[in-house]
Protein backbone atom coordinates (compact mmCIF):
# COMPACT_ATOMS: atom_id res chain seq x y z
CA UNK A 1 0.00 0.00 0.00
CA UNK A 2 1.28 3.48 -0.80
CA UNK A 3 1.62 6.20 1.80
CA UNK A 4 -0.55 9.30 1.37
CA UNK A 5 0.46 12.98 1.43
CA UNK A 6 -2.20 15.66 1.71
CA UNK A 7 -1.09 18.66 -0.33
CA UNK A 8 -1.69 22.32 0.61
CA UNK A 9 -4.46 22.29 -2.03
CA UNK A 10 -6.19 19.39 -0.23
CA UNK A 11 -5.36 16.69 -2.77
CA UNK A 12 -4.28 13.25 -1.58
CA UNK A 13 -1.09 12.08 -3.27
CA UNK A 14 -0.09 8.41 -3.12
CA UNK A 15 3.64 7.73 -2.93
CA UNK A 16 6.37 5.20 -2.23
CA UNK A 17 9.53 6.49 -0.56
CA UNK A 18 12.83 4.68 -0.14
CA UNK A 19 15.23 5.91 2.53
CA UNK A 20 18.87 6.20 1.53
CA UNK A 21 21.81 8.41 0.73
CA UNK A 22 21.57 11.95 -0.59
CA UNK A 23 21.17 13.44 -3.07
CA UNK A 24 17.96 11.56 -3.58
CA UNK A 25 16.27 10.69 -6.86
CA UNK A 26 12.64 11.56 -7.66
CA UNK A 27 10.70 10.01 -10.56
CA UNK A 28 8.05 12.14 -12.27
CA UNK A 29 5.76 10.11 -14.52
CA UNK A 30 3.94 10.88 -17.72
CA UNK A 31 0.46 11.94 -18.81
CA UNK A 32 -2.11 9.41 -17.56
CA UNK A 33 0.76 7.19 -16.40
CA UNK A 34 1.37 6.11 -12.81
CA UNK A 35 4.13 5.27 -10.36
CA UNK A 36 3.67 1.54 -11.04
CA UNK A 37 5.16 1.91 -14.52
CA UNK A 38 8.22 -0.01 -15.66
CA UNK A 39 10.66 2.90 -15.46
CA UNK A 40 9.57 4.06 -11.99
CA UNK A 41 9.68 0.57 -10.48
CA UNK A 42 13.00 -0.23 -12.18
CA UNK A 43 14.60 2.95 -10.84
CA UNK A 44 13.31 2.20 -7.35
CA UNK A 45 15.00 -1.21 -7.45
CA UNK A 46 18.19 0.45 -8.72
CA UNK A 47 18.06 3.01 -5.88
CA UNK A 48 17.55 0.31 -3.25
CA UNK A 49 20.54 -1.62 -4.60
CA UNK A 50 22.61 1.59 -4.45
CA UNK A 51 21.36 2.63 -1.02
CA UNK A 52 20.07 5.83 -2.61
CA UNK A 53 17.02 7.78 -1.42
CA UNK A 54 14.18 7.54 -3.94
CA UNK A 55 10.63 8.84 -4.33
CA UNK A 56 7.88 7.92 -6.80
CA UNK A 57 4.33 9.26 -6.59
CA UNK A 58 1.09 9.66 -8.51
CA UNK A 59 -0.19 13.07 -9.52
CA UNK A 60 -3.81 13.77 -8.57
CA UNK A 61 -6.19 12.04 -10.97
CA UNK A 62 -3.50 9.46 -11.73
CA UNK A 63 -2.91 5.99 -10.27
CA UNK A 64 -3.79 5.73 -6.60
CA UNK A 65 -4.05 9.45 -5.82
CA UNK A 66 -7.32 11.34 -5.31
CA UNK A 67 -9.28 13.17 -7.95
CA UNK A 68 -10.32 12.45 -11.50
CA UNK A 69 -7.96 12.68 -14.44
CA UNK A 70 -10.25 14.94 -16.48
CA UNK A 71 -10.41 17.52 -13.67
CA UNK A 72 -6.66 18.03 -13.69
CA UNK A 73 -4.25 20.24 -15.61
CA UNK A 74 -0.50 20.78 -15.85
CA UNK A 75 -0.49 23.40 -13.11
CA UNK A 76 -2.30 21.07 -10.69
CA UNK A 77 0.15 18.27 -11.35
CA UNK A 78 3.08 20.65 -10.96
CA UNK A 79 1.64 21.69 -7.57
CA UNK A 80 1.40 18.02 -6.63
CA UNK A 81 5.03 17.44 -7.63
CA UNK A 82 6.25 20.50 -5.73
CA UNK A 83 4.35 19.42 -2.62
CA UNK A 84 5.68 15.86 -2.78
CA UNK A 85 9.30 16.88 -3.39
CA UNK A 86 9.19 19.55 -0.68
CA UNK A 87 7.50 17.43 1.98
CA UNK A 88 8.94 13.99 1.26
CA UNK A 89 12.60 14.54 0.40
CA UNK A 90 15.55 15.93 2.29
CA UNK A 91 18.20 18.08 0.67
CA UNK A 92 18.93 18.43 -3.04
CA UNK A 93 17.34 15.97 -5.47
CA UNK A 94 17.97 14.63 -8.95
CA UNK A 95 14.70 14.68 -10.87
CA UNK A 96 13.93 12.03 -13.49
CA UNK A 97 11.07 13.21 -15.68
CA UNK A 98 9.39 10.97 -18.24
CA UNK A 99 7.31 12.55 -21.04
CA UNK A 100 4.95 15.01 -19.30
CA UNK A 101 7.11 14.46 -16.22
CA UNK A 102 9.93 16.06 -18.22
CA UNK A 103 7.82 19.22 -18.55
CA UNK A 104 6.88 19.13 -14.87
CA UNK A 105 10.50 18.57 -13.83
CA UNK A 106 11.46 21.68 -15.85
CA UNK A 107 8.79 23.61 -13.95
CA UNK A 108 10.33 22.31 -10.71
CA UNK A 109 13.72 23.72 -11.71
CA UNK A 110 12.04 27.14 -11.80
CA UNK A 111 10.06 26.77 -8.58
CA UNK A 112 12.18 24.77 -6.17
CA UNK A 113 15.52 26.56 -6.56
CA UNK A 114 18.53 24.72 -5.16
CA UNK A 115 16.33 21.77 -4.20
CA UNK A 116 16.94 20.56 -7.77
CA UNK A 117 20.55 19.41 -8.11
CA UNK A 118 20.31 17.65 -11.46
CA UNK A 119 17.90 16.49 -14.13
CA UNK A 120 17.34 13.44 -16.33
CA UNK A 121 14.57 13.53 -18.92
CA UNK A 122 13.16 10.64 -20.95
CA UNK A 123 11.22 11.71 -24.04
CA UNK A 124 10.51 15.04 -22.35
CA UNK A 125 7.32 16.69 -23.60
CA UNK A 126 7.50 20.36 -22.61
CA UNK A 127 4.56 22.51 -23.74
CA UNK A 128 2.80 19.52 -25.37
CA UNK A 129 -0.71 20.79 -24.62
CA UNK A 130 0.00 23.78 -26.86
CA UNK A 131 2.53 22.60 -29.44
CA UNK A 132 1.31 19.04 -29.96
CA UNK A 133 -2.36 18.91 -28.93
CA UNK A 134 -3.74 22.37 -29.70
CA UNK A 135 -1.53 22.85 -32.75
CA UNK A 136 -2.65 19.45 -34.06
CA UNK A 137 -6.37 19.93 -33.56
CA UNK A 138 -8.61 20.37 -36.60
CA UNK A 139 -11.00 23.31 -36.73
CA UNK A 140 -13.79 20.85 -35.87
CA UNK A 141 -11.90 19.63 -32.78
CA UNK A 142 -11.21 23.20 -31.66
CA UNK A 143 -14.90 23.99 -32.05
CA UNK A 144 -15.89 20.88 -30.09
CA UNK A 145 -13.44 21.84 -27.33
CA UNK A 146 -14.95 25.34 -27.15
CA UNK A 147 -18.57 24.13 -27.17
CA UNK A 148 -18.48 20.83 -25.27
CA UNK A 149 -15.45 21.64 -23.10
CA UNK A 150 -13.65 18.48 -24.12
CA UNK A 151 -12.56 16.36 -27.06
CA UNK A 152 -11.61 12.66 -27.21
CA UNK A 153 -8.26 11.70 -28.74
CA UNK A 154 -7.42 8.11 -29.70
CA UNK A 155 -4.67 6.53 -27.60
CA UNK A 156 -2.23 3.72 -28.32
CA UNK A 157 -2.42 2.86 -24.60
CA UNK A 158 -6.09 1.87 -24.23
CA UNK A 159 -9.08 4.17 -23.64
CA UNK A 160 -9.20 7.44 -25.61
CA UNK A 161 -7.72 10.46 -23.90
CA UNK A 162 -10.36 13.00 -22.88
CA UNK A 163 -8.70 16.37 -23.44
CA UNK A 164 -10.46 19.20 -21.61
CA UNK A 165 -10.59 22.86 -22.47
CA UNK A 166 -9.07 23.57 -19.05
CA UNK A 167 -6.08 21.32 -19.80
CA UNK A 168 -5.32 23.35 -22.93
CA UNK A 169 -6.04 26.78 -21.49
CA UNK A 170 -4.30 26.22 -18.14
CA UNK A 171 -1.32 24.67 -19.93
CA UNK A 172 -0.65 28.08 -21.50
CA UNK A 173 0.29 29.36 -18.03
CA UNK A 174 2.96 26.64 -17.68
CA UNK A 175 4.90 26.88 -20.96
CA UNK A 176 8.69 26.63 -20.58
CA UNK A 177 9.96 27.01 -24.16
CA UNK A 178 8.83 30.64 -24.58
CA UNK A 179 11.08 32.30 -22.00
CA UNK A 180 14.66 31.72 -20.82
CA UNK A 181 15.17 28.28 -19.27
CA UNK A 182 18.33 28.23 -17.14
CA UNK A 183 19.43 24.71 -16.10
CA UNK A 184 22.61 25.40 -14.08
CA UNK A 185 23.29 21.77 -13.12
CA UNK A 186 24.02 18.47 -14.89
CA UNK A 187 21.25 17.54 -17.35
CA UNK A 188 20.99 14.31 -19.35
CA UNK A 189 18.19 13.99 -21.89
CA UNK A 190 17.20 10.70 -23.55
CA UNK A 191 15.07 10.49 -26.69
CA UNK A 192 14.12 7.65 -29.02
CA UNK A 193 14.09 8.25 -32.77
CA UNK A 194 10.98 6.04 -33.22
CA UNK A 195 8.91 7.91 -30.60
CA UNK A 196 5.41 8.38 -32.06
CA UNK A 197 4.24 10.57 -29.15
CA UNK A 198 7.11 13.04 -28.76
CA UNK A 199 8.81 14.01 -31.99
CA UNK A 200 12.59 14.16 -32.17
CA UNK A 201 12.25 17.86 -32.97
CA UNK A 202 10.97 18.47 -29.42
CA UNK A 203 14.19 17.11 -27.90
CA UNK A 204 16.29 19.22 -30.26
CA UNK A 205 14.24 22.32 -29.48
CA UNK A 206 14.64 21.76 -25.74
CA UNK A 207 18.40 21.23 -26.13
CA UNK A 208 18.66 24.43 -28.18
CA UNK A 209 16.49 26.43 -25.78
CA UNK A 210 17.88 25.37 -22.39
CA UNK A 211 20.79 27.34 -20.95
CA UNK A 212 23.51 25.53 -19.01
CA UNK A 213 27.09 24.33 -18.98
CA UNK A 214 26.46 20.59 -18.73
CA UNK A 215 23.49 19.58 -20.88
CA UNK A 216 23.63 16.50 -23.09
CA UNK A 217 21.05 14.82 -25.32
CA UNK A 218 21.36 11.12 -26.19
CA UNK A 219 19.38 9.89 -29.20
CA UNK A 220 18.57 6.18 -29.32
CA UNK A 221 17.84 4.91 -32.80
CA UNK A 222 14.66 2.85 -32.94
CA UNK A 223 13.57 3.50 -29.35
CA UNK A 224 9.86 4.29 -28.91
CA UNK A 225 8.03 6.40 -26.34
CA UNK A 226 7.88 3.68 -23.70
CA UNK A 227 11.70 3.63 -23.49
CA UNK A 228 11.57 0.62 -21.19
CA UNK A 229 13.32 -2.37 -22.71
CA UNK A 230 16.35 -3.64 -20.72
CA UNK A 231 18.93 -1.71 -22.76
CA UNK A 232 16.90 1.49 -22.49
CA UNK A 233 16.39 1.05 -18.74
CA UNK A 234 20.17 0.62 -18.43
CA UNK A 235 20.63 3.92 -20.29
CA UNK A 236 18.33 5.64 -17.80
CA UNK A 237 20.40 4.24 -14.92
CA UNK A 238 23.60 5.44 -16.57
CA UNK A 239 22.16 8.91 -17.08
CA UNK A 240 21.20 9.16 -13.40
CA UNK A 241 24.63 7.86 -12.38
CA UNK A 242 26.34 10.45 -14.62
CA UNK A 243 24.38 13.27 -13.04
CA UNK A 244 25.09 12.02 -9.51
CA UNK A 245 28.80 11.63 -10.34
CA UNK A 246 28.95 15.20 -11.65
CA UNK A 247 27.54 16.67 -8.43
pLDDT (tens digit per residue) in 212-233: 999 999 999 999 999 999 999 9
In this predicted model, what pLDDT tens digit does every residue of 132-180 receive, in sequence order?
999 999 999 999 999 999 999 888 878 888 999 999 999 999 999 999 9
Compute the Cα dihedral for 159, 160, 165, 169 and give only its sign: positive
Q: Distance (Å, rounded) from C-alpha 74 to C-alpha 197?
A: 17
Distances (CA, A) of 151 to 131, 154, 165, 197: 17, 10, 8, 18
SS3 48: helix
In this predicted model, what pLDDT tens digit does every residue of 175-195 receive, in sequence order?
999 999 999 999 999 999 999
pLDDT at position 11 is 98
Percent of the chain surpassing pLDDT 70: 100
pLDDT band at 247 (very low <50, low <70, confident <90, very high): very high
Q: What is the mean pLDDT of residues 117-139?
A: 97
pLDDT at position 157 is 78
The number of angstroms, rounded, from the C-alpha of 52 to the middle of its chain's C-alpha atoms is: 20
Active site residues per annotation = 99, 195, 225
Q: What is the mean pLDDT of residues 104-112?
A: 98
Cβ atoms of 56 and 84 closer than 8 Å:
no
The vertex-195 CA angle with 68 and 39, nearest 5°, equals 60
- The 8-class DSSP code of residue 73 comes to -
Q: What is the mean pLDDT of residues 117-136?
A: 98
- Residues in the chain, total: 247
pLDDT at position 64 is 98
The topology (CATH level 3) of 3-127+176-246 is Rossmann fold (3.40.50)
pLDDT band at 46 (very low <50, low <70, confident <90, very high): very high
Amino acid sequence: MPDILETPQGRRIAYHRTEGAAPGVVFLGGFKSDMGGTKAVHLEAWAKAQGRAFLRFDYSGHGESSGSFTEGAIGDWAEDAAAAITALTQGPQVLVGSSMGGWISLLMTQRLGEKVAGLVTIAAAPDFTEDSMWAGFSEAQKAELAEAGQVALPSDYGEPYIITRRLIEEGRNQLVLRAPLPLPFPVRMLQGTADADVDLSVALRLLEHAEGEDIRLTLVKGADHRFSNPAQLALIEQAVEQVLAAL
